[in-house]
């Protein structure tokens, strides 16, 4: 197998970066150091000026497979992940059929392996058909590879079911990930409840609807001693409750999306449904709170909630589906928080690599040293690029950052020592007939 040399990057050491070359062979990092790649006979990738980080892990991706392939398929979703610097993604099972049986989970894994651009880890459903009533066969799903369990946007409303799910998965160290939404408070909601919703006449989604379930889940995790993971935290109150729960040792973890870190509800004023998402983009005080939560470690992970939708369901605000693309812009957006001093590089690595891996019970990659699996993201912090929604690898185009210029971009991604993204281009096998953009 060809030896690959990454030359001249600033390599993550677990505590900072050092300028070094990296040699990769047989899927592993075999040498790290100044001039480690001296000599010839290697396939060279230029990493000069770049950060070389462990490959990213996304806890929250809507791959739309099966059943939603008009918006995204395994090939386009995997390509978007590779372009975003990801080596592992947790795929959420609000699909048709949902990920509530082992056979569906195995099918999705097999299709993703064939695509070969990113490792896909389906999250099992908590309840059958996501009906909120009957537990899915959680251990069977675990045997099929599921480590995370979630009913996604139809969160488990019944506290007794939630309690049983938490207890049941504890035995095999599964984690229930909850989309926190008290739906009696959000029926018909269209955007964050606040001054903007009042002005626009759009029904509000109050912060309290999230916080009520965050509180419930923390209490249940404490009661059962199980792990609970809170998805896409979006309110100041949620962050504060998680902070307090962690301080007293509750096994709670939390994620935040790039969009909740960067977008505010005044963007809804133009009524462009590209900004419609659940939970909604909120007021500035909430954005500042989730940033603080990410900076101080209250929020463990950045997860994209990548949610491709076709243009037909993003026509007009009220009828539009919720969700936005995230995989290809996440690294730049989080890097901008590092660049402006909101968080440290250390926090970025933990939020995008080590913590999500730990939460999803995946191998944790941290310091890039000889012997580790060569899952690497080579990120150019100086590159500027304009987000072209059509040019993104996702099949759908619903990026809220379309037209914006971002700083920092993934140059190469290595998965098991093999480039999946090389100089910004997908290093992909040709997709089979019917795959990719055949729609």
- Best CA proximity match to 366, nearest among 351, 349, 378: 349
Alpha carbon separation from 197 to 256, 266, 290, 336, 384 (Å, rounded): 22, 9, 21, 28, 34
Catalytic member of 300, 305, 375, 380? 305
Cα(296)–Cα(302) distance, integer angstroms: 13
Of 313 and 383, which has the nearer Cβ to another protein? 313
Quote the DSSP letter at residue 430: P
**Interacting residue with another protein among 54, 98, 122, 204 (CB under 8 A):** 204
Count the residues of the shown chain that bind another protein, applying the rule CB under 8 A: 21
Q: Which is nearer to another protein, 2 or 96 (CB)?
A: 96
Give the one residue of 2, 318, 344, 384 binding another protein; rule: CB under 8 A. Answer: 318
The interface region with another protein, picked from 66-74, 104-112, 162-170, 191-199 by CB under 8 A, is 191-199
Q: How far apart are CA 308 and CA 321, in angstroms?
A: 10
CB of 273 to another protein, least distance (A): 8
- 296 or 315: whose CB is closer to another protein? 315
Interface with another protein includes 316 (CB under 8 A)? Answer: yes
Q: Which stretch binds another protein (CB under 8 A): 1-9, 198-206, 244-252, 426-434?
A: 198-206
Placement of tokens 């812009």 in the chain = 329
Nearer to another protein, 185 or 383 (CB): 185
**Is the CB of residue 38 less than 8 Å from the CB of residue 8?**
no
305 a catalytic residue: yes
> Residue 311 Cβ, how far from another protein at the closest point, in Å?
9
**Residue 400 binding another protein, by CB under 8 A:** no
Q: 215, 59, 25: which is closest to 146 by C-alpha?
A: 59
Cα(363)–Cα(119) distance, integer angstroms: 12
3-state secondary structure of 227: coil
- Least distance to another protein from the beta carbon of 290, Å? 21
Query: At how many degrees (to 10) do helices 102-115 and 74-83 cross?
Result: 60
Among positions 248-277, residues that touch another protein (CB under 8 A) are 270-271
Could you say which of 151, 193, 210, 255 contacts another protein (CB under 8 A)? 193
Residue 40 token pair = 């010839």
Minimal distance in Å, beta carbon 317 to another protein? 5
- Asked if omega into 279 is within 30° of 0 (cis), the reply is yes
In the complex, minimum distance from the CB of residue 402 to another protein, in angstroms, rounded to a whole number: 14
34 scored as a contact of another protein (CB under 8 A): no
**Residue 315 binds another protein, judged by CB under 8 A:** yes
Q: Is 398 in the site for another protein (CB under 8 A)?
A: no
First to last CA, the chain: 36
Residues 6+ away with beta carbon under 8 Å from 242: 214, 218, 230, 233, 252, 254, 293, 298, 299
State yes or no: residue 184 binds another protein (CB under 8 A).
no
Q: Which of 92, 202, 281, 362 binds another protein (CB under 8 A)?
A: 202
CB contact set of 115 (below 8 Å; sequence gap of 6+):
74, 75, 78, 428, 431, 435
Among 133, 143, 195, 437, binds another protein (CB under 8 A): 195
Beta carbon nearer to another protein, 198 or 434: 198
CB of 309 to another protein, least distance (A): 13
312 touching another protein, by CB under 8 A? yes
Closer of 113 and 285 to another protein (Cβ):
285
Q: What is the DSSP string of 14-55?
A: SSSEEEEEEEEETTEEEEEETTTT-SSSEEEEE-TT-EEEEP
Closer of 200 and 389 to another protein (Cβ): 200
Q: Which of 150, 197, 235, 332 binds another protein (CB under 8 A)?
A: 197
| Min dist. Cβ of residue 112 to another protein (A) | 31
Q: Which of residues 325-344 bind another protein (CB under 8 A)?
A: none
Dist. CA 325–CA 206, nearest whole Å = 23
Q: CA 127 to CA 109: how far, in whole Å?
A: 20
**Min CB(199)–another protein separation in Å:** 7
CB of 281 to another protein, least distance (A): 15
For residues 195, 196, 197, 198, the Cα torsion angle rounded to the nearest 10 degrees is 50
Which residue, 14 or 403, has its beta carbon nearer to another protein?
403
DSSP letters, 364-401, are P--S--TTSB--EEEEEEEEEEE--TTTSSSSS---TT
Residues within the interface to another protein (CB under 8 A): 190, 193-202, 204, 270-271, 312-313, 315-319
Residues designated catalytic: 305
């Amino acid at each position: 197998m060809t030896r690959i040399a990454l030359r001249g990057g600033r390599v993550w050491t677990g505590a900072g970066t050092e300028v070094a070359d990296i040699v990769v062979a047989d899927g592993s990092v075999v040498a790290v150091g100044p001039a480690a790649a001296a000599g010839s006979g290697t396939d060279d990738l230029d990493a000069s000026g770049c950060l070389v980080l462990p490959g990213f892990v996304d806890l929250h991706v809507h791959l739309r497979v099966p059943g939603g392939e008009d918006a995204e398929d395994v090939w386009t979703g995997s390509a978007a992940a590779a372009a975003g610097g990801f080596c592992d993604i947790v795929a959420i099972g609000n699909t048709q059929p949902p990920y509530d049986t082992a056979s569906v989970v195995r099918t999705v894994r097999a299709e993703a392996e064939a695509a070969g651009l990113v490792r896909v880890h389906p999250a099992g459903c908590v309840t059958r058909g996501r009906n909120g009533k009957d537990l899915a066969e959680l251990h069977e799903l675990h045997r099929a590879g599921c480590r995370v369990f979630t009913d996604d946007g139809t969160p488990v409303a019944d506290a007794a079911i939630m309690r049983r799910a938490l207890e049941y998965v504890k035995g095999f160290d599964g984690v229930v990930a909850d989309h926190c939404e008290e739906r009696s408070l959000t029926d018909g909601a269209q955007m964050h409840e606040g001054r903007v919703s009042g002005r626009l006449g759009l029904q509000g989604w109050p912060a309290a609807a999230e916080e009520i379930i965050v509180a419930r889940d923390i209490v249940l995790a404490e009661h059962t001693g199980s792990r609970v993971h809170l998805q896409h935290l979006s309110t100041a109150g949620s962050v504060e409750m998680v902070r307090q729960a962690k301080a007293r040792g509750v096994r709670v973890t939390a994620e935040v999306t790039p969009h909740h870190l960067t977008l505010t509800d005044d963007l809804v004023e133009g009524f462009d449904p590209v900004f419609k998402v659940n939970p909604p983009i909120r007021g500035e005080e909430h954005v500042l709170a989730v940033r603080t939560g990410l900076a101080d470690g209250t929020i463990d992970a950045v997860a994209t909630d990548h949610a491709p939708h076709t243009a037909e369901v993003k026509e007009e605000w009220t009828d539009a589906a919720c969700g936005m693309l995230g995989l290809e812009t996440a690294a730049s957006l989080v890097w901008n928080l590092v660049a402006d001093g909101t968080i440290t590089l250390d926090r970025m690595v933990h939020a995008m690599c080590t913590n999500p891996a730990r939460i999803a019970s995946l191998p944790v990659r941290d310091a890039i040293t000889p012997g580790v699996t060569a899952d690497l993201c080579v990120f150019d912090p100086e590159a500027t690029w304009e987000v072209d929604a059509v040019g993104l690898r996702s099949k759908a185009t619903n990026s809220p950052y379309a037209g914006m210029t971002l700083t920092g971009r993934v140059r190469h991604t290595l998965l098991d020592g093999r480039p999946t993204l090389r100089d910004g281009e997908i290093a992909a096998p040709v997709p089979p007939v019917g795959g990719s953009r055949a729609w």
